[in-house]
Structure 1
Amino acid sequence: MPALYECVITHVRSAPLRHAFRHRTYLWLFDLDRPPSPPRPLRWLARFDARDHFAATREPPRAGLERFLAAHGVRLDGGRVVALAHARVLGHVFDPLTVYWCHDRAGAPVCVVAEVHNTHGERHCYLLRPDAAGRAEVPKEFYVSPFFPVDGSYRMRLPEPGERLDLAVRLVRDGASPFTATVRGVRRPATVRHLLAAAARHPWSTAAVSVGIRRHGIHLYLRGLPVTGRPHHRTQEGLK
């Protein structure tokens, strides 16, 4: 560790109208206690800021995660946490989904935390207890897309990455699945050479994510998809 995954993110919307897109980018996998620190001249390509996660403070992300878990009766007792996230590039980051695989002191998996961010600067954490295949289902509790209300549930498949990254999140409403997102990629060592290559293939990758989400939202709006109002989001216990 750490590692880079050059990946393809796919969104497929099947109702009330069909729309799909694919986006190529790269993500970092790392030990949460030891975030990557590239050589100083390259830190504009990869900076990890504690304020981008949990309570948006300067405290280490591990402390924010532990506080959230403690509020839900979970203790890791110093166990390892593996995180998958975007880094800041040129000072900017928008990370729709950050995943934390949490282990106990003996290395056994305890839980997974899926931290979701929306374009309004809000965040919400889902505590998951996946099965052996990394599958779990949780009620949807957070406003993400302006075209879906906050109802239904998410069926997530979040196995801890190895040589390959293969994640999926499916929205379920009234027995149907109107939206599915997948993230698939191949592991690369997080060397200077691989970082420069990934940055060259995906320039200003985090800004591209922000622009892409808004561009597709405008496209759907112009196609007549009705917008659902954003409800007030109450800060979760443990994230204050």
Structure 2
Amino acid sequence: MVAPALYECEVAHARTAPIRHSLRHRTYMWLVDLDRLPRLPPALRPLARFRAEDHFGGTAPTVRAGLERFLATRGVRLDGGRVLMLTHARVLGHVFNPLTLYWCHDHRGEQVCVVAEVHNTYGERHCYLLRTDEQGRADTAKELYVSPFFPVDGAYRMRLPVPRDRLDLTVQLLIAGTKPFTATVRGSRRPATPRQLLTAAIRHPWSTAAVSAGIRRHGIALFLRRLPVQPRPRHRIQEGMK
């Protein structure tokens, strides 16, 4: 059993082509065991809700059921093994998760895969099934329109080690031998006590809305710099996501 934890994070985006632009913002994220979601005092529950409707197709009875339905379509069985989820919780009725990660283990405790669930600001989502190496690294083709300034081309190179005392994630976009975009998430672990949650919520009020607003604000800045907007293709709903 893994006790729930909070990570005080800095999220950084660095764009190197066709123009240089960067952003940084601070937030906090949860690491939880899908079978033992946090039970908070009633007064704090509006600050952290974990709802099945916010993940995968949004129609499964639990987050774990949604994950297992997705994995089943790809021939992956966990047989009751532990799943750790890194995510933003719903805060004051709002949630936006650019990236939720699931470290999936079998009944022997061996890691089977990592699932990276990506949401864009258009209400679309896509899950990547990753077979990471011992350092948590994996490459995968890009399949979701995320930024309006990049087409759905290329691949991602991800480094997603299981968070421990430190959280240290990297996602790079690879296009035609170049690395025009890199995102990092780095943070320190805190026990998910009511006091720590309240402290994090005060430091980062309405955190998920702030993340969404920050992404849109930087998108406007790039548009004003005359960065060309790429057409958004229709995204095909994945098997196992309904």
- Which bin holds the TM-score, normalised by the shorter protein? over 0.9
1:143 alignment partner, SS class: coil
Q: Which residue of 1 aligns with 2:202?
A: 200
Mapped to 1, the partners of 2:169 and 2:14 lie a distance apart of 14
Q: 1:62 aligns with which of 52, 61, 64?
A: 64
Structure 2 contact 7–167 (Cα < 8 Å) conserved = yes
Q: Which residue of 1 aligns with 2:191?
A: 189
Identity of aligned residues (%): 71
- Which letter does structure 2 place at the counterpart of 1:127? L
Encode CA deviations 1:104-133: one digit per residue, 9 max, x unaligned: 001010000000000111100000000000
Structure 2 contact 52–66 (Cα < 8 Å) conserved = no
Using the TM superposition, give the Cα deviation of residue 38 of structure 1 relative to its aligned residue in structure 2, in angstroms: 1.4
Using the TM superposition, give the Cα deviation of residue 34 of structure 1 relative to its aligned residue in structure 2, in angstroms: 1.8
Q: 1:87 aligns with which of 83, 86, 89?
A: 89
Q: Which residue of 2 aligns with 1:33?
A: 35
Using the TM superposition, give the Cα deviation of residue 198 of structure 1 relative to its aligned residue in structure 2, in angstroms: 0.5
Q: Which residue of 2 aligns with 1:140?
A: 142
* 2:104 aligned with 1:102: yes
Q: Which residue of 2 aligns with 1:21?
A: 23
* 2:68 aligned with 1:74: no
Using the TM superposition, give the Cα deviation of residue 236 of structure 1 relative to its aligned residue in structure 2, in angstroms: 0.4
Encode CA deviations 1:137-189: one digit per residue, 9 max, x unaligned: 00001110000000100000000000000000000000000000000000000
1:232 alignment partner, SS class: coil
Encode CA deviations 1:51-93: one digit per residue, 9 max, x unaligned: 0000112510111111111101111111000000000111001
Q: Which residue of 2 aligns with 1:114?
A: 116
Mapped to 1, the partners of 2:15 and 2:38 lie a distance apart of 34
- Which letter does structure 2 place at the counterpart of 1:225? L
| 5+ residue gaps, structure 1 | none
Structure 1 contact 37–47 (Cα < 8 Å) conserved = no
Q: 1:5 aligns with which of 4, 7, 28?
A: 7
How many residues are matched?
240
Q: Which residue of 2 aligns with 1:131?
A: 133
1:235 alignment partner, SS class: coil
* 2:170 aligned with 1:179: no
Mapping of residues 44-55 of structure 1, within 5 Å: 44-55=46-57
Scaled by the length of structure 1, what TM-score is found? 0.99
Mapped to 1, the partners of 2:28 and 2:83 lie a distance apart of 20
- Which letter does structure 2 place at the counterpart of 1:77? D
Using the TM superposition, give the Cα deviation of residue 37 of structure 1 relative to its aligned residue in structure 2, in angstroms: 2.5
1:16 alignment partner, SS class: coil
2:97 alignment partner, SS class: coil
- Which letter does structure 2 place at the counterpart of 1:80? R
Structure 1 contact 153–173 (Cα < 8 Å) conserved = yes
The CA RMSD over aligned residues, in Å, is: 0.7
- Which letter does structure 2 place at the counterpart of 1:158? L
- Which letter does structure 2 place at the counterpart of 1:137? D
- Which letter does structure 2 place at the counterpart of 1:181? A
- Which letter does structure 2 place at the counterpart of 1:214? R
